[in-house]
Amino acid sequence: MSIFKVMHNYSQLMWYLLWPFKQKLKMDNFPTSKNAAEHFVYCKRLFIWVVVVFIVCLVLHFIAKKQKNKAMLKLDKTWALLFLILPIVILPFAFANFDSFFIVFHQLFFSNSNWLFDPTTDPIINVLTEGFFASCFAVDGIIYELFFAENY
């Protein structure tokens, strides 16, 4: 399958996960089993929750900037330090054995084992590999650290 087809299907998956009004996952070149569809429903809820939190924080940021309330824009140094140290505790475990980290993450955030995809019924798992998720985690971790380092 060409990279363009893979990216097209990935875009369809991301549109489903991020757009609250899209109710059914449909990828043109990847079938989705009932279990995988149920897992993606849970993922969608997490994605929507994160988007809502982001929008609320963004609105608060602009309100504080408009009111020139610098105190509202800055974190207390203790909290900023705590938020900086938290990933430093988690990251070595995640990078040393990402597979175990990935399993623990899914056990914490999902109430069933539908996240264990079978490549024969859910070939999307051949694209969304452990390496893909490890890369996403690393990029998110860097962005997270840079954000809280700025506030420290």
Report the pLDDT averaged over residues 22-32: 95
**Mean model confidence pLDDT for the chain:** 87
Please report which confidence band the pLDDT of residue 47 belongs to, taking 50, 70 and 90 as the band edges.
Answer: very high
Per-residue pLDDT at 38 exceeds 90: yes
Instruction: Say if residues 46 and 119 touch (Cβ distance below 8 Å).
Output: no
Greater confidence (147 vs 126) lies with: 126
Provide the pLDDT for residue 93.
Answer: 78
Report the pLDDT averaged over residues 12-33: 95
Please report which confidence band the pLDDT of residue 151 belongs to, taking 50, 70 and 90 as the band edges.
Answer: low
